[in-house]
Structure 1
């Protein structure tokens, strides 16, 4: 089945999007973005994400410090800075089997260890700025790659606001590096994303949406929350 783009790591609730969020989502829809995985950086921001459920489907999928969390919380969205080998080794030691290493910039040898563990890797439009990660992208199998924007940061140009619609830039660049079509990259990376985040489909969202009331109720049910809180958002396609 054909799939639209999945932005596996963006900050759609960031202050930079407050004034024109509807336009940002519309532009994403126009280029074929189907699903956003929104990551917050503070509790107040997460509250804003929950408020967006009035306009689109969203499912908070919190990463928790409690290892006994519900099974749908077990996918990790990880950013490792200058510690790829240690990070991957630590996750393997802890028995983590479902993880996305976003904006990955480690050595290919470290990435291949992650591939052996079943981990996925995503790259934002910033990879288009130079060829530094070409060798890395070539060596990671496409079946272990996802797309992301990390918007509003890490766009094609520094100091210019990035948006989820720019996911097409990551797609085209990875396609060029790997010598395949952008359509192939879009399809395979979307399949990879839904394999990692199975609750991101519409049926999964409907099953749990009604139970999400407030941040305090989430804390009570799942215990201490980490700083990385992925939220699945199905982009609604609508005509203006």
Structure 2
């Protein structure tokens, strides 16, 4: 069964791929991953993501600022990131990943700083009508409250509540299901509940592997039999619809 899919979120520029990056990219193509979205999280990876997308026609860049970085970054550093993204805005498919992470950041000051920075990236996405790729952890409802007015919002690697998931869908936004669905009961519940028209697939590689060791874009296909079983929908229809959804939201 030849299925064509898109990995809507990964980090092929990360050091874990330094030894075999080109082979990994080729393996994904051979497996049926026809396009890939690579996501920057800080100044260094925004640059390396952009270079990767410039080298490969089927790899598209989204540039952002991880909420892990924003509590530590000063205003000048944030401005430099925003300026860099703005300088390259015509070359990218989206803004992000960016957002809120309340799991690792528990103080009010850290969380307020995350919100302050997140708002600037929301404004940038709004100004250029680019989809916003959100990293939300234990703050998905707050992230939705801040960004829900945008036309195109993708909650990458969604791990929040089913209630907030329904609010995201009701607002017309997108839930990206990671390869965690192969072994996480919570993500299986999410996949079961998300309407297919609001779903993307992703690996978030090199993280969250459904196999032993490092994850990679080729493994995005591992999700298909699981989602097929959960939703009672054929794998080819899941592959086809999530592919169309990704093309539409990111304008590929």
Calculate the TM-score normalised by the size of structure 2. 0.70
Of 91, 116, 122, the match for 2:176? 122
RMSD after superposition = 2.3
Relative to structure 1, is the Cα distance of residues 143 and 98 closer, same or farther in structure 2, using a 3 angstrom cutoff?
A: same
Mapped pair 1:182 → 2:235: yes
The aligned residue for residue 45 of structure 1 is 45
The aligned residue for residue 143 of structure 2 is 87
Secondary structure of 1:136's match? helix
Residues 165-220 of structure 1, C-alpha deviations (whole Å, 9 max, x = no match): 0000122211111011111100000111111001x2xxxxxxxxxxxxxxxxxxxx
The aligned residue for residue 14 of structure 1 is 14
CA contact (8 A) 2:93 2:250 kept: no
The aligned residue for residue 216 of structure 1 is none
Pairs within 5 Å for 1:1-240 = 4-53=4-53, 55-57=55-57, 58=60, 59-61=91-93, 63=95, 65=121, 67=123, 74-92=130-148, 95-157=149-211, 160-198=213-251, 200=252
Kindly state the Cα deviation for residue 112 of structure 1 after the two structures are TM-superposed: 0.9
CA contact (8 A) 1:126 1:157 kept: no
Distance 2:132 2:126 in 1: 13
The aligned residue for residue 205 of structure 1 is none
Distance 1:143 1:61 in 2: 20
Relative to structure 1, is the Cα distance of residues 162 and 180 closer, same or farther in structure 2, using a 3 angstrom cutoff?
A: same
Structure 2: runs of 5+ lacking an equivalent: 61-90, 96-119
CA contact (8 A) 1:11 1:39 kept: yes
Secondary structure of 1:65's match? helix
Q: By percentage of residues, which structure has more helix?
A: 2
Structure 1: runs of 5+ lacking an equivalent: 201-240
Secondary structure of 2:27's match? helix
CA contact (8 A) 1:13 1:46 kept: no
Secondary structure of 1:106's match? coil
Give the paired residue count. 195
Distance 1:156 1:97 in 2: 32
Secondary structure of 1:78's match? strand
Instruction: Indicate the structure whose relative CO is greater, using CA pairs within 8 Å and at least 6 residues apart.
Output: 1
